[in-house]
Structure 1
C-alpha cells in the first residue's frame, strides 16, 4: 500500500481533506521511525504539490532542516518562514536563490558545521563581511569553494593563496580579473589546462597550449569553448580524434561550411547543435538543400523552421532527415501520414512525438504492423492520446507506467493497474488525476 499512497500524494486531483490526512500520516510515520524511507518519500511527494496551504508548508519545514531546504529551493518557503539558527540549510538555500536576508550571511559564515560554510561559499552576492570571513576559513575546502564561485573582488587576493588548489579554483572562476588569470597561468606550480576550460575571455595564446595538448580529452574540452577563435577552430577541425571533432560541433561560432564537413565525416546521431540553433533562416537555406543527408538532418533538428524549409525536409527522400523533422510543430496530418506511408517503421516513433499528432493518428500508429516500441512510449505520454491508443500502450510493459498515469485512460481500465505487480505502474495509476474519488478514499488507510 505504501507506493499507492505515494502515488496519491502526487495526484493533482487529490481533495484537500485527503492531502491533510496524508500529511498527518507521513509526519506520524516519520516521528515513529526517523529512518523510514516510506515517510521520506511520502513527505517529498507532498512537498511537490502546488496546492499546499501555508500552514502545511510550515509543518513540512518544521519536520527537518533538510526538508526546509527542499522547500526553499522549490520556492514555496520564504525568508519570513526561516530561522537561520534552527534551519541553517534552508537559510543557505534562500541566500543561494537570492531570496534570503543578507544579514544571515555573517552568522552562517561562522557556523560550527563546515558543510554549512562550504554551501554558503558558493552563494552569489554575499556581503563583504561574510566573504572576508569565508576567505580565511580554517577549512581549505570552504576557501576553495569560495574561490571557485564568488563574484567578489576577493578573487584577486585569493589568487595569492598559498594552497595551489585554491589558486586553481580562482583561475576557473569566470569573474576573476583577466590579469590575475594570466599571472596564474605563468605559475609553474599550477596545471591550469582543465581549470581554464570554461573561461571565454582569455588571449588566444593561452587557448593554444591546451588545444595542442597530447590528451585528447583536454583538446575536446577546449574545442567547444566559445572563446577560441577561427584559427584554432580550423586546427581542431583536423584533429585525428573523433571526440575532439565532435566537441567542435558544439562550438557556437563554428562556420557552417566547416560544421557540414564535420557532420558528413561522422555517422553520429546529432542533436540540435548551437550553431544551427543560432542560424538565421537565410543561413539555413544552403545546408537544408545540401546533397548530404547528414547536413540536411542537422537543419531538421530545429523546431522553429520557416514553413518552406519545414515542408521541404518533410518530403526528403532520406528517412533519417524525415525522422529528424517529424516532431516539428505545424506539420499537417496529411504530411505526417505521408511520412509513415513512405518510410514506415523508420519514422513511426518520431511521428508519434509530434505535438500536433491527432488522436486518430496516434491510434493508427499503435496499430501499425510491424510495430515499434518507441511509438507506444510516445503515445503513452501524448496529450492527444485516446482511450484505445492508451489501452495498446497499457499492454506494453515499458509504456505501461506512463499509460497508467494518463488522464484519458478509459474509466473501465483506470483501476486495474493499481494492483500491478510492478510498483511503478501501480504508483503511476494512483497518481492519475482521473482516478475516481471513491477509489482514492478506498486507498487511504
Structure 2
C-alpha cells in the first residue's frame, strides 16, 4: 500500500521524504552516507536505526549521531568523557539521559554548573548513590527530577517529603529568573515566558517543592508510610497521587475512599492495592466514573461486580476480574439469575466450549449478543441465535469468524437491513458474492465491500467507474480485477 504524502510546503515535503527514507531497512552504504550528509538530525536518526555504527561517526562532526549511539548503548566511553566537558550544555544534557555511563562521567555531570544538566542525570541515572546525591542537590529543580527516579532510595525519597535531614534548597527556576516573592499570572501575556502557570516562589520554592512532592508520591519506590502522611493534604493533586500509590495500608485506602473529590476516589477504586473493604464502599459511590473504576479493579469481589451491573455502564469488553476468574467462578457467574452478570461472562471469548454453548442459548438477548462473536460456535448455534433474537444479535453473529458464507448472505439480505451486520460482512473473509452485493448498496460500507476478493470480476470492473474515488481505489486494489482491465486504464 502506498504511503500517503502529506500536503504542505516544499520544505515540509522534503523533510518528510528524508525522514521516511532514513527509516528504510534496505539502505546501502552510499545511500546512508548521502542521507547523513544532509543534516545532523538525519545522521542521528540513521544512527538510532542502526545504519551508522561507531566506526562511521566522528563526534566532532556528528555530535547528535554520537549521542544517539551512546543512548542506544553502542557508543564509545571516550565519547561520553568528551561530551561531559563539552561547552554546549544541550549536549551535556543529552549525554546525561544516556544509560550506562561510566562512573566518572556521571560524577562529572552530577557536579555540572548547569542545573538542567544535573536534573537530566537525576531523572535517568540508574545508580542509587548518584541518584541519592542528586536528591540533595542545592537546586530545587534537580531534586524535583530525582523525585521521579525509582533508583532513588526509599530513605532519600522520604526525606524529600518530610525534609528531615535535608538542607533547604538554595534556588529554583522561579527565583533564578524573577524577583521574589513571585506568583505567576496564569494568563501571562509574555509569549516568551517558560515558567509554568502555577509557578510561585517566596524563597521556599513553593511550586517546585509541590511538584517534587507530587513526583515522590507517584514514585513506586517511595515508602508507603511516608506517602500515607499526605492523605489529608489540602492539595487535590497530591491526594490524587497518594491514591494511585500501590503500597498503602488498607486503612489509608479506606480513608481516601471517603475523599470529597471524585477523581481521588476513582484513583483509589482502580488502584490494584485497594482491598475489598474500600471496593465495597466505593461500589455505592454517587459518581459513575468511580463505580466504573471499581468494576475494572482486577481483584474486585464478584458479588460487588454483580451489584455494579445494575447501576453502572460496564461496556462491551471483558472486565479484568472476569478475565482472571477461575473456571468455577465463571460457571457460578454464568448461572446467575441476573442477565447482566451472565453477560459479563459472555464477553470473555476464551470460555470452555460447554459454557460458551450454554450462553449462546441464553434467553436474554444481551447475553447472546455478547457471546455471538465467540470463535468455535457452530453454524447451527449461530442460526438458532438469529432465530431466537432476530435483529438484536445479527450484527454480532456476522462478526463471528466462523460464520459460513451462506449464513452471511442471509444476514445481509435481512429486511430491514441491519447496517452493523453489513459493516462486518463487507470485510468478512467468509463472505460470498451473494453476501457482498447488499453491502455494495450501502453507501457507508460500499468501499469495504469493493475491496473484497470474493466479488465477481464483472462487478469489480463496474466499480472502476464509480463516482466515489474511494470506491474506485478499493476496486483497483481488488485482486479480482482482471489485470488487462487495469492495464487499459493506466496512461
Q: Under a length normalisation based on structure 2, what TM-score does the superposition of the two structures give?
A: 0.67
Deviation at 1:331, TM superposition (A): 0.3
Deviation sequence 1:144-169 (CA, Å, 0-9, x none): 89557644337865773762213312
> Which of structures 1 and 2 has the bigger CA Rg?
2
Contact 1:300 1:325 in 2 (8 A): yes
Residues 130, 421 of structure 1: CA spacing in aligned structure 2 closer, same or farther, 3 A cutoff?
A: farther
Identify the match of residue 312 of structure 2 among 259, 266, 285.
Answer: 266
Instruction: Indicate the larger mover: 56-65 or 154-163.
Output: 56-65
Deviation sequence 1:332-391 (CA, Å, 0-9, x none): 011111111111110011011111112222222211212111112112222222333333
Aligned to 2:127: none
Aligned to 1:325: 371
Identify the match of residue 50 of structure 2 among 59, 69, 78.
Answer: 78
Aligned to 1:341: 387
Residues 207, 370 of structure 1: CA spacing in aligned structure 2 closer, same or farther, 3 A cutoff?
A: same
Instruction: Confirm or deny that 1:376 pairs with 2:375.
Output: no
Residues 300, 203 of structure 1: CA spacing in aligned structure 2 closer, same or farther, 3 A cutoff?
A: same
Identify the match of residue 437 of structure 2 among 380, 391, 401.
Answer: 391
Q: Distance in 2 between matches of 1:428 and 1:119?
A: 49
Q: Distance in 1 between matches of 2:23 and 2:450?
A: 20
Aligned to 1:138: 116
Residues 172, 47 of structure 1: CA spacing in aligned structure 2 closer, same or farther, 3 A cutoff?
A: same
Deviation at 1:230, TM superposition (A): 1.6
Residues 420, 287 of structure 1: CA spacing in aligned structure 2 closer, same or farther, 3 A cutoff?
A: same
Instruction: Confirm or deny that 1:36 pairs with 2:13.
Output: yes
Aligned to 2:217: 171
Deviation sequence 1:76-111 (CA, Å, 0-9, x none): x3375696985959976995xx77659688888989
Aligned to 2:352: 306
Deviation at 1:70, TM superposition (A): 8.7
Q: Distance in 2 between matches of 1:189 and 1:9?
A: 48
Deviation sequence 1:204-254 (CA, Å, 0-9, x none): 343334322111122112211111112111211222222211210001001
Q: Distance in 2 between matches of 1:40 and 1:140?
A: 34
Instruction: Indicate the larger mover: 151-160 or 289-298.
Output: 151-160
Contact 1:418 1:429 in 2 (8 A): yes
Aligned to 1:297: 343
Aligned to 2:184: none
Q: Under a length normalisation based on structure 1, what TM-score does the superposition of the two structures give?
A: 0.72
Deviation sequence 1:97-142 (CA, Å, 0-9, x none): x776596888889896969968985x88787756984897428996
Q: Distance in 2 between matches of 1:437 and 1:113?
A: 60
Number of matched pairs: 412
Tell me how large the CA RMSD over aligned residues is: 4.8
Deviation at 1:270, TM superposition (A): 4.0
Instruction: Indicate the larger mover: 149-158 or 110-119.
Output: 110-119
Unaligned runs of 5+ in 1: 1-6, 11-25
Instruction: Indicate the larger mover: 294-303 or 170-179.
Output: 170-179
Contact 2:270 2:293 in 1 (8 A): yes
Task: Kindly indicate whether structure 1 or structure 2 has the higher relative contact order, using CA contacts under 8 Å at least 6 residues apart.
Answer: 1
